[in-house]
């Protein structure tokens, strides 16, 4: 039998029954297609006693169609990445019940009790454990998949298992190429076109973006989630689930940290002009900045602790090396945060944090602020040695 897109609810239900033992034989099941991402189809199958999620990868990008073919190996990569992440932080990822290579589908835990972080942030909800959870996820997944923990053979085998050229190509182009020229894939609010054109002339910026891209292409440092934006995080008051690691590959650790910090800052930029009470929006911006600080501090503490107690290679055990490594990683993370912010503002794939601002002039103001934050992070990252300096620099830009 060869690959076939699910063609009906009955088809999806039969697959769910075949690949899990959650449901009783006589239980009536219903199916909803709940995918709102750019790339795949996602179904929720639910009955009276239980529910689960099925994600199917078609041989093309969902929002574009057959004109943008995409390897279905991404679904194997996602299933394996989720299973590996679950080894180190089982509470922070959905459980994989089953992976069917032929149907290019993963059957996994329904995380319907959690809300999409992008929506949470647009609605200005404060989740007390979010930043710590994200910091811990990053410390554990990035450390335990790096040469700081794995031996030579384990690490090389990890690199080999996560060769992900189609998905890497998307990021290589959408992060580091399109937004820095007049590319046909870009989507630019006419009101900020002049700002985009100015950015395209900024050679100092483009040099820094080229350096970040070179690391993305060459630095096989740790297994990345690869697409750690707010839409890949589901959270509530007591828990956090990180989903969708189909872009996983072994790359520079700062890319994941920067992607999520960039998404915090996209919301900060959006809050400047969202509808609603000014004091409430400013207070939420402060909460987001404090969250970035907590996220990094949790990450740094966890990662440093792992280095001190679990790095076996004596040549990497020096405390001064840990200091240097973490400072370099902070600077990389800021650079990648900047590229995420810029590509979400003038590139192909935009975000609700900015798009939901109805008034076009106000949206343009937030987009300009986002471009400014992105550029400052990319260009000034080398002057930064601590997260407190980052927050000071951001406050200066935000006048808050
Ligand atoms: C065509 S894919 C556009 C974006 O959606 C994914 O979630 C990734 O972020 C990608 O860059
Ligand atoms: Mg995704």
Q: How many CA atoms lie within 13 A of 320 on its CB side?
A: 1
Task: List beta partners, residue 60.
Answer: 69
Task: Identify whether residues 168 and 263 lie together within a single domain.
Answer: yes
CATH code of 58's domain = 3.30.200.20
> In the β-sheet with 41-46, what is the strand arrangement from edge to edge?
30-33, 41-46, 51-56, 105-109, 96-100
Residue 258 · residue 337 · CB < 8 Å: yes
Task: Identify whether residues 53 and 180 lie together within a single domain.
Answer: no
Task: Identify whether residues 203 and 178 lie together within a single domain.
Answer: yes
Q: CB burial class (10 A; 0-12, 13-18, 19+) of residue 65?
A: exposed
Task: Identify whether residues 79 and 46 lie together within a single domain.
Answer: yes
Q: In angstroms, what is the span from residue 349 Cα to ligand 1's centroid?
A: 6
Query: Quick count: other Cβ atoms within 10 Å of Cβ 203?
Result: 8
Work out the average pLDDT over 155-171: 98
Work out the average pLDDT over 267-272: 98
**Residue 167 in contact with ligand 1 by CB distance below 6 A:** no
Point out the domain boundary residue: 109, 143, 166: 109
Task: Identify whether residues 250 and 218 lie together within a single domain.
Answer: yes
CA 183 centroid distance within chain: 23
CATH code of 155's domain = 3.90.1200.10
Model pLDDT for residues 136-149, shown as the tens digit of each residue? 999 999 999 999 99
Q: CB burial class (10 A; 0-12, 13-18, 19+) of residue 212?
A: buried
Ligand 1 atom 4, closest CA: 349
Reduced to 3 states (helix: H, G, I; strand: E, B; else coil), residue 116 is strand
Residue 36 has pLDDT above 90, yes or no: no
Domain contains 143: yes
Task: Identify whether residues 190 and 240 lie together within a single domain.
Answer: yes
pLDDT band at 310 (very low <50, low <70, confident <90, very high): very high
Number of H helices, E strands in the chain: 14, 12
Q: CB burial class (10 A; 0-12, 13-18, 19+) of residue 188?
A: middle
Task: Identify whether residues 320 and 355 lie together within a single domain.
Answer: yes
Domain contains 4: no
**Residue 61 in contact with ligand 1 by CB distance below 6 A:** yes
Point out the domain boundary residue: 109, 132, 147: 109
What does the pLDDT read at residue 248? 98
Task: Identify whether residues 370 and 248 lie together within a single domain.
Answer: yes
pTM of the model: 0.97
What does the pLDDT read at residue 1? 53
Report the nearest atom of ligand 1 relative to the CA of 61. Answer: 1
Domain contains 189: yes
**Residue 178 in contact with ligand 1 by CB distance below 6 A:** no
Interface confidence, given as ipTM, is: 0.98
Work out the average pLDDT over 327-332: 98
Work out the average pLDDT over 172-180: 98
Domain contains 3: no
CA distances from residue 213 to 126, 206, 217, 251, 304 in whole angstroms, order as listed: 33, 10, 6, 11, 26
Task: Identify whether residues 140 and 282 lie together within a single domain.
Answer: yes
**Residue 170 in contact with ligand 1 by CB distance below 6 A:** yes
Point out the domain boundary residue: 109, 134, 169: 109
Model pLDDT for residues 43-64, shown as the tens digit of each residue? 999 999 999 999 999 999 988 8
Gap between the Cα atoms of 139 and 135, Å rounded: 6
Model pLDDT for residues 180-215, shown as the tens digit of each residue? 999 999 999 999 999 999 999 999 999 999 999 999
Residue 116 · residue 231 · CB < 8 Å: yes
Domain contains 2: no
What does the pLDDT read at residue 264? 99
Gap between the Cα atoms of 3 and 100, Å rounded: 10
Which ligand is located closest to the Cα atom of residue 60? Answer: 1
Please give the residue range of the domain that contains residue 208. 115-398
Domain contains 1: no
In this prediction, what percent of the chain has a pLDDT beyond 70?
100
Work out the average pLDDT over 245-257: 99
Report the chain's mean pLDDT, rounded to a whole number: 97
Task: Identify whether residues 172 and 70 lie together within a single domain.
Answer: no
Task: Identify whether residues 167 and 95 lie together within a single domain.
Answer: no
Ligand 1 pocket mutation, candidates 35, 36, 37, 39, criterion most atoms within 8 A of CB: 39
Task: Identify whether residues 218 and 351 lie together within a single domain.
Answer: yes
Gap between the Cα atoms of 33 and 41, Å rounded: 7
Six token digits for residue 102: 């032929």
The tally of domains found in the chain comes to 2
Residue 297 has pLDDT above 90, yes or no: yes
């Amino acid at each position: 039998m060869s690959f076939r897109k699910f063609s009906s609810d009955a088809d999806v239900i039969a697959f769910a029954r075949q690949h899990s033992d959650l449901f009783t034989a006589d239980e009536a099941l219903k199916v909803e297609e709940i995918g709102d991402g750019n790339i795949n189809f996602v179904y929720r199958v639910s009955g009276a006693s239980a529910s689960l999620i099925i994600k199917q990868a078609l041989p093309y990008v969902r929002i574009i169609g057959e004109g943008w073919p995409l390897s279905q190996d991404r679904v194997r990569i996602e299933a394996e990445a989720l299973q590996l992440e679950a080894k180190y932080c089982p509470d922070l990822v959905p459980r994989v019940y089953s992976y069917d290579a032929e149907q290019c589908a993963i059957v996994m835990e329904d995380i319907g009790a959690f809300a999409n972080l992008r929506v949470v942030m647009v609605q200005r909800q404060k989740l007390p454990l979010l930043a710590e959870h994200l910091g811990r996820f990053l410390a554990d997944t990035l450390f335990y998949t790096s040469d700081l923990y794995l031996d030579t053979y384990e690490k090389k085998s990890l690199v080999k298992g996560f060769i992900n050229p189609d998905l890497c190509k998307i990021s290589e182009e959408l992060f580091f190429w399109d937004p820095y020229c007049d590319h046909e894939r870009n989507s630019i609010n006419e009101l900020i076109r002049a700002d985009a054109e100015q950015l395209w002339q900024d050679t100092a910026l483009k040099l820094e973006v080229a350096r970040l891209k070179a690391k993305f292409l060459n630095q096989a440092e740790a297994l990345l989630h690869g697409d750690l934006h707010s839409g890949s995080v589901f959270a509530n008051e007591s828990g956090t689930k990180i989903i969708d690691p189909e872009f996983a590959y072994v790359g520079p650790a700062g890319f994941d940290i920067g992607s999520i910090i960039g998404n915090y800052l996209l919301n900060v930029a959006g809050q400047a002009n969202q509808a609603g009470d000014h004091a409430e929006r400013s207070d939420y911006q402060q909460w987001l900045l404090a969250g970035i600080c907590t996220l990094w501090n949790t990450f740094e503490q966890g990662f440093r602790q792992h280095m001190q107690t679990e790095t076996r290679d004596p040549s990497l055990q020096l405390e001064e090396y840990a200091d240097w490594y973490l400072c370099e990683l902070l600077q990389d993370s800021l650079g990648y945060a900047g590229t995420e912010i810029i590509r979400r503002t003038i590139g192909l794939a935009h975000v609700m944090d900015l798009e939901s601002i109805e008034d076009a002039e106000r949206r343009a103001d937030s987009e300009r602020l986002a471009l400014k934050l992105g550029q400052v992070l990319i260009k000034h990252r080398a002057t930064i040695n601590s997260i407190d300096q980052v927050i000071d620099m951001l406050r200066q830009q935000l006048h808050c």
